Amino acid sequence: MKQKDVVTLVIVGMVAGVISLFVAGNIFSPKKYTTKVPVAPKIDATFPDVKNDPTYNVIFNPNALDLTVPVQIGGNQNQAPFNSQ
């Protein structure tokens, strides 16, 4: 190969690279979406007073069982319930 042929091949390769860069940029460009995503409101760290607030009396039954109160069933005070004596 002559030096003139090498220069021509380098120039053709560079032109082909630039053209392929533009073509690939148009084909594989990221799409621009304009969809708005709903955002959840921030949760407040304080809890409302459910027992005294009248807005919650409609939702919650004030006569319902309170599951946070410990309940003792029966009056058995046996300290060794599995003792075989």
Of 43, 62, 41, the C-alpha closest to 52 is 62
Give the pLDDT confidence of 5-19 residue by residue, as tens digits: 899 999 999 999 999
Amino acid at 78: N
Whole-angstrom distance, CA of residue 75 vs CA of residue 49: 34
pLDDT by residue, tens only, the chain of 85 residues: 788 889 999 999 999 999 999 999 888 877 788 888 899 988 888 877 777 777 777 777 767 777 788 877 777 777 777 776 6
| Rg for the chain, CA atoms, rounded | 39
Hey, how many other C-beta atoms are within 10 angstroms of the C-beta on 56?
13
Whole-angstrom distance, CA of residue 70 vs CA of residue 11: 86
Element holding 65 (H helix, E strand): none
